[in-house]
Amino acid sequence: MTIRLAFIGAGGIAHHHLNTLSRMEGIAVTAFYDLDAARAEQAALNWSHASAYSTIEEMLDTAKPDGVYICVPPMAHGSAEELVMERGIPFMVEKPIGIGLDTPASIAAAVKKQGLITSVGYHWRYMDAVEQAKARLASSKLGMAMGYWMGGMPMVPWWRKMHGSGGQFVEQTTHIVDLVRYLCGEVTEVYAAYAERVKRDQVEGCDVPDVGTVTLKLENGAVANISNTCMLPVSHHVGLDLYTDQGVLEIRGHGLKVIHPSGVSELKDGSDPTYQEDEAFIHAIRTGDTSRIRSDYIDAWKTHEVTIAANESAQTGKVVRIGETCQVE
């Protein structure tokens, strides 16, 4: 059975998924919508029988896709998900799922009520390095975790504005928060300190903090710190270090380093996490079996809640307890 897909948003990450999907059998991408009509039209040229549409409603009702990819910037979430949910269509949405709590909370509640198939773009969960770290953690006791996203500023215009991206911790470092939840356990308390050091002066219209450090308490008693900066002129650490009674696990985009009493071993990660992520979503649409999806909307909501709590803590200077601000019914 050929699975027909539609895309809402046809920018950078949409093309990454499209390249991945083009390597799979039994997929037809038939429909595109983007606020920038030329982008939708250009994307449609690459797929036989695909069309660009001028509204989401027209696209969904004409193309009748089996699944929808929602690849819009953080501030643009809401109406796309609502229109897709009204029609009961499974969707894959990119992280972050919003820039505040209200819209994602109401989407999460509706997804839960409908039992809809969803997937969220936390692709680190699909890496072999993460899988191996998870297996090692099962036989060790975690003490603490240290996460990092230390680099430069992505230059898409919406990124430099709090009302566009939600800031670095919400937009980018959310991947590391999600790994902490996936590997270490649920977060109960968040305390954050952010500052604006150089980017506000260097980049016109920039109002996102360019350094920040966030302390997390976990339900199981472990603690974590995740720091980020977007002020560097070079790339530095991106990843998560786990400190356990058996040694240290260093997870990076390129692999896993294990530091244990008898030496150091390194796994070079050859996996294609976006392929695994997309395949899991397509498999779920085709069969109804959602077991391969490692991040669905309800789970991603919990990661999102932690990142928004960090923004709130940085603003108020107070500890934020998770679950006290907003609940998904």
Summarize as ranges the residues that interact with ligand NAD (CB under 6 A): 8-14, 33-36, 39, 71-74, 76, 80, 94-96, 121, 123, 156, 171
Min CB(308)–ligand NAD separation in Å: 15
Q: Which residues pair with 278 in a beta bridge?
A: none
CB-nearer residue toward ligand NAD: 229 or 244: 229
Min CB(69)–ligand NAD separation in Å: 10
CB-nearer residue toward ligand NAD: 99 or 142: 99
Min CB(85)–ligand NAD separation in Å: 15
CB-nearer residue toward ligand NAD: 209 or 222: 209
Min CB(48)–ligand NAD separation in Å: 22
Min CB(71)–ligand NAD separation in Å: 5
Cα distance between residue 9 and residue 92, in whole Å: 12
Longest pairwise C-alpha distance within the chain? 62
Using DSSP, state whether 24 is helix, strand or coil: coil
Determine the residue type at 325. Answer: T
What sign for the dihedral angle of Cα 309, 312, 313, 314?
positive
Residue whose CB is nearest to ligand NAD in the complex, by number:
11
CB-nearer residue toward ligand NAD: 136 or 161: 161
Cα distance between residue 57 and residue 133, in whole Å: 43
In Å, how far from its chain's centre is CA 157? 19
Q: What are phi and psi of 301, to 5 degrees?
A: -55, -40
Task: Provide the token pair at 124.
Answer: 């680190």
CB-nearer residue toward ligand NAD: 11 or 191: 11
The DSSP symbol for 125 reads G
